[in-house]
Amino acid sequence: MALTRWGFLYTASGADPERDVTILDTGSCRTILVGMERPDQSVEAARKLVEQHDVQLIELCGGFGPVWASQILDATRHTIPVGAVAYGPESVDGVHEIFS
């Protein structure tokens, strides 16, 4: 099976998951990007991605970690893979500077 529908959740100051939804469709792959102010908004956003867009997987970026990935897996009943973007040790100082 090919990846044809996936969701990407990210945090950004002032973002609203009800408003800040961008859909990129190449004709062979559909990506739904959802921005939110806080990671706690991700559980409901993930449910909507599964229910309304039938995504095959979800990736998390910017302020998420393993706890949120686990909560999203539980909320989606482990029906799809959920991954979190991670940075290697060579990037820790730069990421810390951006998010502090």
Query: Going by C-beta distance under 8 Å and a sequence separation of 6 or more, which residues neighbour residue 94?
Result: none
Summarize pLDDT for 43-76 with one digit per residue, the tens.
999 999 999 999 999 999 977 888 999 999 999 9
Residues 16, 36 contacting (CB under 8 angstroms): yes
Whole-number pLDDT of residue 21: 98
Whole-number pLDDT of residue 12: 93
Torsion of CA 88, 41, 45, 74, to 10 degrees: 70
Residues 60, 42 contacting (CB under 8 angstroms): yes
Whole-number pLDDT of residue 59: 97
- How remote is the C-alpha of 17 from its chain's centroid? 11
